[in-house]
Amino acid sequence: MFGGIGRALSHRDYCIYWTSNGINTIGRWMYRIAVGWLTWELTESTTWLGIIAFAESFPLVVFSVLAGAIADRIGYIRITILAQTATAIVAAGFAVLTLAGLITIELVLISALLIGSLESLTTPARMALVHALVPKEDLSAAIALGSATFNAARFIGPAIAGALLVWAGSGVVLAVVAIAFAQFCAILLIVKADEPERTPGPWRDLAGDIVTGVRHGFGHPGIRMLLVMLGVTGLLIRPVIELMPGFSAEVFDRGADGLAILMSTLGFGAMVSCIWVAMRGRTQGLTRLVTASLLVQGGALIVCTLVGHYLGNLWLAAACLGVVGFAMLIGGVGSQTLMQNAVESHMRARVMSLFIVISWGLPAFGALAAGWIANFAGLPVTIGIGGALTVLLWLWARPKAVTVEGELEKTG
């Protein structure tokens, strides 16, 4: 009945990890909403929204490739436990400062940098860890289910955070976030993973490990095409998430409630997308689906901005964002699945770190640029142009997908 989902959850350690990481991820999305709204309350500036988003995401660009090489050397679970524990401590301190009324935009910036840096150290390991918890035949379903959970959290987290923001304020949200982070640390201690055998050379060779991973990723025609598509959409589409507090306030004259509606529908569309991919449970045909998602993302985002600017209808705009979320995660989940399917196992964390840098790190630059441009052109125009350029990218990618799908979707 549930296809690949049932197969993935039949593996005990993956099921335990999936459940705990789901709670952790809900906390992560609550954190993003709380920080975005706190930034808006302190500054009412789209530029500051872009700066904070940049500070949180930029470490992914700086540290993820290094973190991937370290994870391939010392183990996925070990590095995750260490960095996740530090993240929980920082989040708790952030909550205390906010509840005490001592928070400033400068302290928000420092906290965003710290949590973003620690997140960058765990992400390649957590993505590669899935392969160590399920057999290869269930890998596609497990990756998609994990992404479905991530995007269910994108729906659940903002909904919880929005309600708590209205009733109790940012400090309480951040306190709940710290608890969500802490429980994940405890669960990781009991998870058993069949990780690859570690045969690292001297630590002075770490730079060589990084170079080897980069060459392997960009040297593979199919993986290279996926990385290019992820990079461009990361710059043009993903910044809409960081700009939503300003979009809610400026376009619809709404507060935290409007922000929660917009972000929750985006997350709901993404969640439905990932569940569908997980139930589908196979890699065949994913290359063309990923490519088609570019057209859907760009077109729906253009309609969203037109509806918001000319009609001022929050619910219609939210429905368009639901479509954007659906297509965005077809692209993200499909790309990750195809890359993990095609990559050599001993380079898994390093190549996945490239996925992280490009699909999660580059949006930091997009958010910074979009926040600055929006000060002059306005948010609807800025976001709409990004959608139009994404449609142009689809025209480039469509013929290339046909030539690389065999290498990406191989079953042997």
Residue 242, C-beta contacts closer than 8 angstroms, at least 6 positions apart: 36, 49, 50, 53, 363, 367, 370, 371
Distance, in Å, from the CA atom of 30 to the CA atom of 249, rounded to the nearest integer, reads 19
Distance, in Å, from the CA atom of 233 to the CA atom of 391, rounded to the nearest integer, reads 10
Give the pLDDT of residue 202.
58
Confidence of residue 179 (pLDDT cuts 50, 70, 90): very high
Residue of 108 and 46 predicted with greater confidence: 108
Percentage, residues of the chain above pLDDT 70: 91
Q: Is 203 a residue whose pLDDT tops 60?
A: no
Lowest mean pLDDT among 12-16, 98-102, 136-140, 284-288: 136-140
Residue type, 33: I
| Model confidence pLDDT, tens digit, residues 68-102 | 777 777 777 888 888 888 889 999 998 998 888 88
Confidence of residue 160 (pLDDT cuts 50, 70, 90): confident
Residue of 129 and 293 predicted with greater confidence: 293
Residue type, 6: G
Distance, in Å, from the CA atom of 405 to the CA atom of 412, rounded to the nearest integer, reads 14
Q: How many CB atoms lie within 10 A of CB 193?
A: 18
Residue 124, C-beta contacts closer than 8 angstroms, at least 6 positions apart: 64, 67, 68, 71, 349, 350, 352, 353, 356
Mean pLDDT (whole number) for 160-177: 85
Distance, in Å, from the CA atom of 289 to the CA atom of 398, rounded to the nearest integer, reads 10
Residue of 391 and 250 predicted with greater confidence: 391
Give the pLDDT of residue 1.
47
Q: Is 339 a residue whose pLDDT tops 70?
A: yes
Mean pLDDT (whole number) for 104-122: 86
